[in-house]
């Protein structure tokens, strides 16, 4: 271990003893000591000499200089100890050029203790408000060797040496596919050294995490309580991964399943592992490959006892929501995390289908070219529709194929794949009795897209669309409102499904908190989520999102456009099943009286299923003839 | 047994020896003998004397006279033997006033043997064409004591006496709820004495079947191979019923599950019981209480070895289709019978919802009163929409509540119940990848109907419908076409689902045969089924019903009306989700190019899910930014 080049950064507030401890530690390790302040550029030194406090902009160049120094040193096989306050997480993120070979030692002490230490040991003078401001700025590191700043220096250094000898992996990852590797890089970037295992690894040459050749080796390399993240395909592979670990685990260890597992499997696994004293966390991860790498939205649920241990690292790697919070929250017990992720995906299906339908109406129905549509979508992305999916749609519409010079979108086969979570959402919605017609329509349209052969035959036999006869610009304007209304309605269905499941399974889901984390990192992130989160904050038990005052008003204002666009689809023959299903949901929901009385009468007629009356209590049956 | 009053009818063609055997049997039993011909009215006797053949109309009064004679005799505790040719099933059905106490003895012999017997034994002369015509008319009885007409009379009578002593139950029924009791009465009426068991019987005082107090007693009372029909709620009760029988059953016995079981349960039970040598038949039964009593549509599947044994009795009790065939066919192995019944129910959900939506549009949207709607529906029932559901809808619309004098339909609460088969259809369709949007919409609308509280709040907050501004009569006329198109589309989805499942599970379903049996007895019986059956007869592998020439033309002719009605719904705000979903399905199916290319591009953008190109082979991924 001592032959491995590394840098140790001794951090803490002014007066915590960074120089003393840094020098002592460097001597004990036999490596050079550097004072971080020596790397300041002349301008900073002048400011400090003049007593002008440094700003973040001043520090940026200095931190990069230090980071380059460290990186070059490591590359040359050098080691060192650096004293540097590094009070904020973002400073440390810059300095941490290598998760395993750059480590932080945090000299911890509260304000009064540090104040007393300074007075006692050095007779050092510091203005009281200066130390106070250091504590105001301080963001304590989640992962560092943490020592008591007011202990004796030798004792502190002993303790640091001891800690440096310890195993240092923060977590293990089983399954190093696209998502597993991306998450590993994300953890490493945030200072959590990862040890990985994959039965069939295909790793890029520069993959930084240590990779071992068996689950047992992975478990052995981790300290208790172990944290192991499983990133394998849902279903049997998860059970196989868990089984391969069981013998090596101990009471209190934590397994996180970060795949798209079926939530009832997660319920079962949580229970089975709890019997062995192991905490199982079923965690939804959204954001695709790029989200996993740069900040996903995380929906952990299951064994709550694990939360305290894993929260700091999950908060570190998660996306940041528009108001600066990490896009992660504890969802609930059992399979709640995977359930919420499934519903997220169901909404995503609905959202994608609605966008595709509007594209189809404007393109196939109204003849709008891709480039014009790209402008329109880019424009929409500056307004109420602002969202990841609108943003990437604009980019997709604009993308030109290098080889043919044609819009790439036109060359892509019109068959949409699916991995099952949208279908699951529709199936479970039917099971628990929550109406999700927009999501159902989206799933059905993927199925219909797949049956291309029949479509070709039907197109030849049953004719095609009629060109839109109205004003194209007016239709495009109405489409923005229709898409907004359809999207909000899809959310209303998804939120209702969460509420129904929360009641059915006793999860106590916090809808506002869930919507808040969806605003960062995940595929369905969108500006409208602010209004949706606000609606459930105002009224956590809101029976339906469309009943919220702000949302209701927004829909009412778009109602005429919404209807006009659906009618344009019916007239041109461009199918808009998800948009029409949204409108049908809206109209059915606001129907004080639906024609279900006729259905119930029919059921009583042929099957003696009985009915209720509006004018008296009881159960009735009629001999209808 | 000899103290129990009963009548034995000795039947067969002229010259088969009815009088000889009848007299001898009466003497052996010590009861009076009657010649059926003595009961003819004077008009018939005159005709016969003049050599004019009797017609069915002539025989009707005579048979009723005989039936009344038997019924009155039984009521007075009398017994007797009657000689009567009773060549047709319908004659025997009239005479069989009591399934257990009226029994038929059939003197069997082929034309040449009877001819020879007549010559040999009596020197009797009969014109050859007369005996031939008797054989032309003869419908051999499925259930009778069958003896060889050309044996010695004493031997024949010995054999009859022997058979009369045997146990005589044709089948056992476990579960005597509404459906079980109705089927029992149906079997009894057709000459199949039933022995019943119910752990918690609630039987009307005049229930004719013998009821025992344990499953074992039921099994003991039946001959091998036993035929036991289970009519209990789907799920665990079926397993409990089967378990309660297992010890008493023998290899070759037959269990029929006539409930709405989940088809995968039926698959499992078929396998488990096959291991014990017991034939398990999962049978769909449609037609409600009245169908069960007077003629259901029957969809048996499972252990094909059972079919030969149960076919005659199922054919006897089934409804009769318009072309005179019994509404029963062997569907396929495993769970095929229950699967087909489930899809039948899914189509039924779609059909009922479409009718309810049209009612809602015309009533709530266009202000058409119930009485006018009843006339309209009755009128439709004489045209292309002719069907059971339209017929009963007209009756429901016309029904006036005795107590309030108001239309009863207006007093029925608008919450539609469901027992699960529609939901199952949607769930399994998603599972196997068949698009069934109309059925899905119907299931969703039942769910939405149930959430009345939220609807009341939404109605108050989000406003209601707008009165239809167009011509009401024109809308009503268009509605007929729209309903037709929507209905056929729902069938197209149901048939596609059957075809997909047939391929997935290897059932080899015969779609034309299935549609043919749906034309009799079941809830979805409708004139349009003739065209649908014809389509699959012409082309058994038809990829989609809408591609059939006749159907395609019919839909094309109604397309403008269909669109106009959907638009009327969007304009008025009367939700027509099933009708709109049907149109969306139609428009999507005939789309040579759907906007799924955008969805696939989005998936590739955020998840590297790859895509295919229209201009070259291979799998592609793009770095979109």
pLDDT tens digits for range A168-180: 789 999 999 999 9
pLDDT digits (tens, 9 = 90+) for A573-605: 999 999 999 999 999 999 999 999 999 999 999
**In Å, how far from its chain's centre is CA A305?**
21
Interface of B with A in 539-558 (CB under 8 A): 543-544, 546-547, 552, 555-556
A216's CB contacts (< 8 A; 6+ apart) are A244, A247, A248
Q: How many Cβ atoms from other residues are within 10 Å of residue A234's Cβ? A: 18
CB contact under 8 A, B389 and A602: yes
Quote the CA–CA distance of B149 and B132 in Å, as a whole number.
17
Token pair in block for residue B207: 């229930």
- Which candidate in A188, A341, A353, A384 is catalytic? A341
Residue A493, beta-bridge partner list:
none
The sign of the CA dihedral A88, A94, A99, A102 is negative
Regarding beta strands A297-302 and B254-257, do their DSSP bridges make them parallel or antiparallel, or are they unpaired? unpaired
Query: Does A576 reach chain B within 8 Å, measured CB to CB?
Result: yes
Q: Residues B260, B265, B266, CA angle at the centre, nearest 5°?
A: 70
Angle between helix B596-607 and A437-450 (nearest 10)? 100
CB contact under 8 A, A455 and B589: yes
**pLDDT recorded at residue A357:** 98
Residue A199 DSSP code: S
Token pair in block for residue A273: 């592992």
**In Å, how far from its chain's centre is CA B612?**
47
Asked if residue B543 has pLDDT above 70, the reply is yes
CB contact under 8 A, B448 and A585: yes
Query: Does B202 reach chain A within 8 Å, measured CB to CB?
Result: no
CB contact under 8 A, B414 and A580: no
Percent of the residues in chain B that have a pLDDT greater than 70, as a whole number: 98
A89 is catalytic: no
Token pair in block for residue A96: 């941490």
Interface of B with A in 463-482 (CB under 8 A): 463-465
Interface of A with B in 429-458 (CB under 8 A): 430-431, 433-437, 440-441, 443-451, 453-458
| Radius of gyration of chain A measured on its C-alpha atoms | 30
Got the DSSP string for B387-439? BHHHHHHHHHHH-B-TTT-SBHHHHB-S-----SHHHHHHHHHHHHT---HHH
The sign of the CA dihedral A533, A534, A535, A541 is positive
Q: Write out chain B residues lying below 8 Å of A555, CB-based.
A: 462
Strand extents, DSSP E, B205-292: 210-212, 227-230, 254-257, 279-286
**pLDDT recorded at residue B121:** 63
Query: Does B407 reach chain A within 8 Å, measured CB to CB?
Result: no
CB contact under 8 A, B433 and A450: yes
CB contact under 8 A, B596 and A357: no
CA nearest to B588 within chain A: A575
Q: Is the CB of residue B599 less than 8 Å from the CB of residue B519?
A: no
Residue A300, beta-bridge partner list:
A283
Quote the CA–CA distance of A524 and A528 in Å, as a whole number.
10
Distance from CA of A315 to the nearest CA of B (A): 22
- Which candidate in B18, B188, B267, B341 is catalytic? B341
Percent of the residues in chain A that have a pLDDT greater than 70, as a whole number: 98
B348 is catalytic: yes
Average of per-residue pLDDT across A433-437: 97
**pTM to 2 decimals?**
0.81
CB contact under 8 A, B457 and A543: yes
Percent of the residues in chain A that have a pLDDT greater than 90, as a whole number: 77
Task: Give kind and range of the element (H or E) at residue A82.
Answer: strand A80-83
Residue B10, beta-bridge partner list:
B83, B105
CB contact under 8 A, A594 and B360: yes
Whether the bond into A225 is cis, omega within 30 of 0: yes
Q: CA torsion, points B113, B115, B120, B124, in degrees to nearest 10?
A: 150
Token pair in block for residue B133: 């015509």
CB contact under 8 A, A596 and B415: yes
Would you say the ipTM is above 0.85? no
- Which candidate in B18, B188, B267, B348 is catalytic? B348
- pLDDT class of B3 with cuts at 50, 70, 90: low
Interface of B with A in 236-295 (CB under 8 A): 287-291
Asked if residue B1 has pLDDT above 50, the reply is no
Average of per-residue pLDDT across B145-151: 91
pLDDT digits (tens, 9 = 90+) for B253-308: 999 999 999 999 999 999 999 999 999 999 999 998 889 999 999 999 999 999 99
**pLDDT recorded at residue A157:** 94
Q: Is the CB of residue B25 less than 8 Å from the CB of residue B98?
A: no
- pLDDT class of B113 with cuts at 50, 70, 90: confident
Interface of A with B in 379-398 (CB under 8 A): 388-389, 392-393, 395-397
Angle between helix B549-572 and A577-589 (nearest 10)? 50
Quote the CA–CA distance of B582 and B354 in Å, as a whole number.
10
Residue with tokens 């070259």: B616
Q: Is the CB of residue A424 less than 8 Å from the CB of residue A343?
A: no
Query: B276 versus A125: which is more confidently predicted?
Result: B276
Tell me the average pLDDT of chain A.
93
pLDDT digits (tens, 9 = 90+) for A68-121: 999 999 989 899 999 999 999 889 988 988 877 899 999 999 988 888 887 776
């Amino acid at each position: 271990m001592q032959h491995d080049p590394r840098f140790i950064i001794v951090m803490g507030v002014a007066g915590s003893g960074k120089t003393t401890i840094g020098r002592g530690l460097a001597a004990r390790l036999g490596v050079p000591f550097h004072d971080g302040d020596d790397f300041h550029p002349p301008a900073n030194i002048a400011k400090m000499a003049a007593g002008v406090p440094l700003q973040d902009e001043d520090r940026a160049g200095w931190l990069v200089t230090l980071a380059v120094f460290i990186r070059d040193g490591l590359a040359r096989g050098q080691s060192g100890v650096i004293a540097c306050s590094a009070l904020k997480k973002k400073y440390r993120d810059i300095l941490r050029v290598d998760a395993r070979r750059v480590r932080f030692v945090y000299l911890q002490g509260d304000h009064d203790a540090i104040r007393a230490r300074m007075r006692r040991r050095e007779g050092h003078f510091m203005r009281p408000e200066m130390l106070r401001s250091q504590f105001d700025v301080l963001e304590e590191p989640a992962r560092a060797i943490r020592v008591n700043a007011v202990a004796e220096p030798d004792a502190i250094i002993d303790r640091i040496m001891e800690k440096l000898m310890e195993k240092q992996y923060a977590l293990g990852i089983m399954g190093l596919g696209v998502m597993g590797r991306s998450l590993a890089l994300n953890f490493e970037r945030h200072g959590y050294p990862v040890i990985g295992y994959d039965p069939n690894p295909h790793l890029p040459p520069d993959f930084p995490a240590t990779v071992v050749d068996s689950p047992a080796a992975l478990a052995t390399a981790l300290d208790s309580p172990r944290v192991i993240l499983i990133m394998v395909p849902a279903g049997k592979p998860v059970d196989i991964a868990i089984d391969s670990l069981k013998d090596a685990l101990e009471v209190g260890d934590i397994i996180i399943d970060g795949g798209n597992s079926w939530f009832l499997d997660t319920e079962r696994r949580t229970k089975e592992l709890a019997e062995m004293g192991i905490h199982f966390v079923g965690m939804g991860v959204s954001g695709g490959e790029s989200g996993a790498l740069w900040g996903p939205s995380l929906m952990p649920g299951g064994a709550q006892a694990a939360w305290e241990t894993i929260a700091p690292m999950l908060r570190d790697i998660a996306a940041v929501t528009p108001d600066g919070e990490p896009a992660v929250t504890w969802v609930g017990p059992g399979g709640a995390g995977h359930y919420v992720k499934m519903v997220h995906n169901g909404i995503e299906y609905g959202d994608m289908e609605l966008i595709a339908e509007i594209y189809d109406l404007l393109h196939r129905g109204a003849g709008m070219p891709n480039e014009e549509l790209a402008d329109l979508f880019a424009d929409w992305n500056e307004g109420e529709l602002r969202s990841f999916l609108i943003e990437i749609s604009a980019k997709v519409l604009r993308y030109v194929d290098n080889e043919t010079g044609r819009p790439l979108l036109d060359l892509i086969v019109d068959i949409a794949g699916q991995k099952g979570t949208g279908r699951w959402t529709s199936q479970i919605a039917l099971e628990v009795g929550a109406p999700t017609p927009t999501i159902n329509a989206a799933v059905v349209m993927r199925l219909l897209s797949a049956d291309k052969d029949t479509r070709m035959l039907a197109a030849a036999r049953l004719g095609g669309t009629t060109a839109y006869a109205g004003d194209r610009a007016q239709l495009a304007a109405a489409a923005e409102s229709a898409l907004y209304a359809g999207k909000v309605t899809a959310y209303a269905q998804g939120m209702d499904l969460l509420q129904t499941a929360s009641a059915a399974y006793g999860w106590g889901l916090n809808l506002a908190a869930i919507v808040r984390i969806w605003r960062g990192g995940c595929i369905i992130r969108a500006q409208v989520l602010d209004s949706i989160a606000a609606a459930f904050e105002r009224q956590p038990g809101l029976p339906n999102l469309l009943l919220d005052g702000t949302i209701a008003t927004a829909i009412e204002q778009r109602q005429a456009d919404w209807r006009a666009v659906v009618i344009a689809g019916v007239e041109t023959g461009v199918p808009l099943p998800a948009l029409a299903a949204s409108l049908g949901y809206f109209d059915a929901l606001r129907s004080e009286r639906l024609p279900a009385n006729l259905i119930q009468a029919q059921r009583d007629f042929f099957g003696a299923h009985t009915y209720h009356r509006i004018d008296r209590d009881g159960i009735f049956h009629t001999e209808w003839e």
